[in-house]
Structure 1
Amino acid sequence: MSRYDAGIAAKIDDLFADWQQGVCPGGQVVVRKGGEIVYENCFGYASVEHRLPITGETVFHVASVSKQVTVMCVLLLQEDGLLNVDDDIRSYVSDMVSFAEPVSVRNLMNNVSGIRDQWELLMLQGVRLDDTITQSDAKDVISTQTELNFPPLTRYMYCNSNFTLLAEIAERVSGKSLNEFARERIFAPLGMAQTCFKDRYWQVIPNGADSYKRVGGELIHAVLNYGTYGATSLHTTATDFMKWMANFKEPVICKRETLSEMFACPTLLDGTKIHYAGGLIVNDPALYQGRPFIGHDGSDAAFRSCTVRFPVEDIDIAIFSNTDTVVIGRAAEKIVDLLLGVERSEVEPQVLPDFYDADFADEDVAGTYYSDGTYALIAQVVGKGDQLYLLEEYGAAPLVQVEGNRYQAGTANYELYLGSTAGFRFGTRCIPLKKWQPDQECEADGLAYAGTYESAELGTAYEVLVEDGALYLSHRRNKKQLLLRTAPDQFIAGVGGSLYGVTLTFARAANQAVSGFRVSTGRAQAVAFAKRN
């Protein structure tokens, strides 16, 4: 197939129809097959305010796609004989390690270290993701952790702290900033002239795209003030990144053995093989119809990125966007089908969850919904006239009724099922929800929980308040959040407008008085808080 195959190009264009609706944000798409660029296009605007279209020169923040480049910096230092990825990280950053268990550099690369995630720790400190966040902020909160989520190599858990530590190791060993080292050893040799790590939040990125999110009918700025790097903050173009991906096929900047080490998925202590290695997802059978692949997605603010290589078919895809209106991972999968001539039904089979109610009748579904299982989820649904809204970080997103009790939240890639049988679905993940009702038991013993709780690891404090018979969790930087009981001495609370919340498990002393709690998020488990006397 030549790059001028107009029929396939038109079908790929159609996948990005939402980026072609007048003056709106959009993205870059570049596709290569057999070493030849077979499709490239740009859609939408890098700056909606200034009417600056996205071009091939537009530079995007690509979020977690950054991780693979950070890993390569560390592996190049291993090629130089300056470090060994099987060393304990204390050999390089002993001042940033306060936990007892040995963690290797390789554990960081493969997300099996057990270290708590920096973003969720910062969130627990009261930092909001639209605050200015520096590399020092991230390093400081990592270095004060005295416990791990789990012993290394006993579980896989995605963790941004791992790659902040890898960036620090690379800088200390090389004596250069991560951006300087990457430019000398990766970007310049590969001709990636528009690629860099943004390591200060005030840094100007030439041709940089702004980030936009649609809330209801309004287009807003999704603010991103990161000065952190290693886990994120690579800035590049799709054309530049194709040069990086070409190195996976024919290595120029490293030895072929280095790539093999980068792509080598670890085996956990219980014998489980995971599908994450070297800052990349590798051959996860749940993705891309089971085709062998290496790749990674990224998501910060409204920036979205998807980069994937299919080595058997020799296909590379890079999609970078400054908005979340297109599910770009799904678009990448459809592009591969188009290139390979695979026909799939446009109508996906509807395997609806148990909490779907086709006979859903009009009822008062506004209220607070929550999960009481592994995932702490809280969805606040409000009604205004005949319209329902989901309260989110940037405001109220209108809910669109698909059918029965099934609702779509704007352009979000998830569904809510409301009413007496409720739930949340994201892709294949289905989580039942309950609608909160005032807890009379909690009203009776609420004062036992009331007080101030402090964390030595986070250097911050929370208050538990009793108001009008309900319990609330309050922090000086965030408004108070309703505490919902899910089990004896266990509660969940919302955080920052996100659907994902935190779980609090209270501890009691020998006299049964409440003595503290441990708080868990998805990637930061059991952080201890002691009750102040």
Structure 2
Amino acid sequence: MDQKSLMRYVDSLMQDTIDQHSPGAAVVVYVDREPVLIQGYGAANLEYEMPIQGRTVFDSGSLAKQFTAYAVSLLIERNMLSLGEDIRTYLPEFPESSGKITVGHLLYHTSGLQEWGDILQIAGWRFGDEITMDDVRALIPRMNSRNFAPGEQFEYVNTGYTLLAEIISRIAGEPFHQWMDRNVFGSIGMKHSFFNDDLYKVVPGMAYSYRLADRGTYAKCRDYLRVAGSSSLYTTIEDLGQWLGHLLDGGSVVERMAVPGQLADGSVTNYAFGLFLGQHNKVQVLEHGGKYAGYRSALSFIPEKRIGVALLSNLESLKEWDIVRGIIEFLLNDSEEEQVAAQSGQPLRSVQHVPDQEISGHYLICEGHVAVIGIEDGQVFWKITGGPKFELVPHFQDNFIDQDGDPVVFYRNGDNRIDSMTLIWCGEEKRVQKIVPVSDGVEAYAGVYYNSGLNVAYRMIVREKELYAEHMKHGSMELFHYQRDHFSGEHYWFRSVQFVRENDQVIGCIVSSAIQAKNIYFTRIDRSILL
């Protein structure tokens, strides 16, 4: 392989978003039995303009999961753990009401457990508040609800891998991070990698993380998360080169990591031991990424071709997967010219036409998720209630392309009125109906609602015929009334509010986050109880 061509190509991927005065990234490319490129771009610290280098330390976010999964595979190899074991063997405090949950359920994201991050926010934590393993441990006995029966479906949550770290710690009889230092990082030669459980630890060579602010400036992102297993892995791009080499060398512990999960109905998922499974030209690809605060990470490797790429970044807006997958494509193609040609295509866009105002309105995707379509200055925009706004690029009549390149198509009824649309939702095409939001009757929902397990209350109040949920730390959150008793929230962790009635009187509400924490029941109470 021509290393100069590879370097030119990687440079071309970086130059549009990174310079020496901006946050940046570090990249490693592994081919056969050695890293052929280790390169840093941009600054690790904008205050002092320290450059990103091979030993710059990043928070890798959910990239941590594959290391926790590797530890599970290692314990299986040593006959110290089994995927079929009930987690209460090691976590007896876990509530019986959740049903039998096995180690395998945690590993494969099929446990049905709720996302601890969403639960903590519903309980009053704000994004940026300190979150430690002690906080999650305290939450475990209170997790009486579940999203679905164990083994019924796949749903990615951090909770399973946080509990796996706790199980490993209890088997080992020592803190998780210490066991990982000796049994994983030390044995592989990852000299600068560790699970960070200390909010105030001084980390030499650490990259700070940033987001884009106004007028081309940057703002710091706060990193106050220290929850091992699912996240909080601090590592360098040099160490990830060591890790890629270890993965590509194989062996029984590594090979087990490519075994996919299986649901109760016998169907197979695309998730293995902390790695997503995919295909590229009929060749298996294993990969995973991570994000927290302004940190971004991505790792992808193809065992059959003995190639791998990893990236660590401190820039929130960096498109890490475009870069990593672009490099993988480059390595698989025969020449630089082929790669340049493959990258030269432009997004399909039709001649301009005036969009029909008929497409404007609200479309119910699923409980708590409403798509809002609007037209501004001749351009079509859309968003999910509470989410950011994106342009829909016109393709041809009633057909558009969204921000991910997926089609959005509007449909007309017999009266030539648009009544539905199709979009890609959770990886699948879904047809959704246009709805007319409810505009009155919100007074019936006013009151105080309390969850005893989380010891948290929300006050529902009415302002100018709109309903708001109020909390001391979260402030006032507007709720969008789209059907009787059904509301959509402006925050992903408070996305769906469904009120419950008895004899036509509102007695409580069920709160769910966007995806990962469902069916949290709040009882309507007399406000004087909390005074």
Measured against the shorter chain, the TM-score band is 0.7 to 0.9
CA deviations over 1:109-139 (Å, ceiling 9, x no partner) = 1111111111111121121221111111122
1:524 pairs with one of 507, 513, 517 = 517
Residue pair 1:19, 1:27 contacting (<8 A) in 2 also: no
Q: How far 1:403 sits from its partner (Å)?
A: 6.6
**Gap change, CA 1:206 and 1:99, over 3 Å in 2:** farther
1:452 equivalent in structure 2 = 448
Within 1, Cα distance between the matches of 2:434 and 2:477? 16
One-letter amino acid of the counterpart of residue 75, structure 1: S
Matching residue within 198, 201, 204 for 1:200: 198
Please give the per-residue CA displacement for 1:242-274, whole angstroms capped at 9, x wherever unaligned: 2122222335xxxx3333333211221223210
Q: What is the aligned partner in structure 2 of residue 346 from structure 1?
A: 343
Instruction: State the secondary structure of the residue aligned to 2:450.
Output: strand
Do residues 373 (structure 1) and 366 (structure 2) align? Answer: yes
Distance apart, 1:74 and its partner CA: 2.8
Question: Whole-Å Cα distance in 2 between the matches of residues 382 and 474 of structure 1?
Answer: 31
CA distance in 2, matches of 1:43, 1:392: 36
CA distance in 2, matches of 1:209, 1:380: 39
Residue 18 of structure 1, CA deviation: 3.5
Aligned counterparts, 1:469-508, within 5 A: 469-495=465-491, 502-508=495-501
1:163–1:51: structure 2 CA closer, same or farther, 3 Å change rule? same
Q: Which shows bigger deviation, 462-471 or 371-380?
A: 371-380
Residue type at the aligned position of 1:482: E
- The 5 Å alignment of 1:386-405 reads none
Runs of 4+ in 1 over 6 A off after TM superposition: 367-370, 378-384, 388-393, 396-409, 412-417, 419-438
Which residue of the partner structure matches residue 242 of structure 1?
Answer: 241
**Where does residue 315 of structure 1 map in the other structure?**
307
Contact 1:298 1:305 in 2 (8 A): yes
Match among 76, 92, 110 for residue 74 of structure 2: 76
Q: Equivalences for 1:18-33 in 2 at 5 Å?
A: 18-33=16-31
Separation (CA, whole Å) in 2 of partners of 1:54 and 1:299 = 18
Distance in 1 between residues matched to 2:206 and 2:385, nearest whole Å: 27
Q: Please, which of 347, 353, 357 is the counterpart of residue 359 of structure 1?
A: 353
For 1:293, the equivalent position in structure 2 comes to 285
- The equivalent residue for 1:114 is 112
Secondary structure of the residue that 1:514 maps to in structure 2? strand
Q: For residues 39 and 182 of structure 1, what CA distance do their matches in structure 2 show?
A: 27
Alpha-carbon distance in structure 1 between the residues aligned to 2:83 and 2:140:
20
What code does the residue aligned with 2:506 have? V
CA deviations 1:323-348 (Å, max 9, x no partner) are 13331112222112212226463355
Q: Would the aligned equivalents of 2:372 and 2:383 in 1 still touch at CA under 8 Å? A: yes
Letter paired with 1:346? Q
Displacement of 1:415: 9.8
Distance in 1, matches of 2:368 and 2:37, equals: 40
Q: Deviations over 1:394-443 (max 9, x none)?
A: xx98978977999999xx979999x9999987997788999998743xx2
C-alpha contact 1:46 1:209 (8 A) present in aligned 2? yes
Shift of residue 349, structure 1, vs aligned partner: 7.4
Name the residue aligned to 2:415.
none
**2:529 alignment partner in structure 1:** none
The Cα shift of 1:229 comes to 1.2
Contact 1:292 1:312 in 2 (8 A): yes
Q: CA deviation at 1:215?
A: 3.2
**Within 1, Cα distance between the matches of 2:161 and 2:393?**
40
Asked if the contact 2:385–2:489 (Cα under 8 Å) also holds between the matched residues in 1, the reply is: no
Shift of 1:38: 2.2
CA distance in 2, matches of 1:114, 1:357: 47
2:296 maps to which of 301, 304, 310: 304
Per-residue deviation, residues 284-331 of structure 1 (Å, max 9, x unmatched): 24xx56641112111111211001111111101111101133311122
> Offset of 1:55 from its aligned partner?
0.8
Q: Residues 426 and 266 (structure 1 numbering): CA distance in 2 closer, same or farther, change over 3 Å?
A: closer
Structure 1 equivalent of residue 129 of structure 2: 131
Q: Equivalents in 1 of 2:272, 2:71: separation in Å?
A: 15
Q: Tell whether the 8 Å contact from 1:98 to 1:145 is kept in structure 2 after alignment.
A: no
Q: Give 1:122's aligned amino acid.
A: L
Question: Which residue in the other structure is 2:413 paired with?
Answer: none
Instruction: Return the match for 1:261 from 244, 256, 271.
Output: 256
Q: How far apart in 1 are the matches of 2:154 and 2:382?
A: 35
Corresponding residue to 1:274 among 260, 269, 273: 269
1:16 Cα deviation from its structure 2 partner: 1.1
Distance 1:71 1:527, change over 3 A: same
Partner residue, 1:141: 139
Task: Tell me the TM-score normalized by structure 2.
Answer: 0.84
Name the structure 1 match of 2:5: 7
Q: How far apart, in 1, do the equivalents of 2:57 and 2:311 lie?
A: 12
TM-score (norm 1): 0.84
Question: Map of 1:77-116 to 2, 5 A cutoff?
Answer: 77-116=75-114
Partner of 1:164: 162
Letter aligned with residue 484 of structure 2:
P
The 8 Å contact of residues 414 and 427 in structure 1, kept in 2 or not, is answered as no
Return 5+ residue gaps in structure 2 as ranges: 411-417, 527-531
Q: Is the 8 A contact 1:447 1:466 kept in 2?
A: yes
SS in 2 for 1:21: coil
Q: Separation in 2 of the partners of 1:47 and 1:483?
A: 40
State the distance in 1 between where 2:65 and 2:226 align: 15
Is the deviation greater in 16-25 or in 430-439?
Answer: 430-439
Q: Which moved more, 1:125-134 or 1:12-21?
A: 12-21
Identity rate, percent: 25
Q: Could you tell me whether the CA contact under 8 Å between 1:376 and 1:501 is conserved in 2?
A: no
Give the residue type in structure 2 aligned to 1:528: Y
1:475 to partner: Cα distance: 1.7
Deviation at 1:99, TM superposition (A): 2.6
Q: Distance in 1 between matches of 2:389 and 2:501?
A: 42
Question: Separation in 2 of the partners of 1:104 and 1:70?
Answer: 16
Deviation at 1:193, TM superposition (A): 0.9
Unpaired segments ≥5 residues, structure 1:
none
How many residues of Structure 1 are paired with residues of Structure 2 in the alignment?
A: 507
Tell me the distance in 2 between the aligned counterparts of 1:486 and 1:397: 19
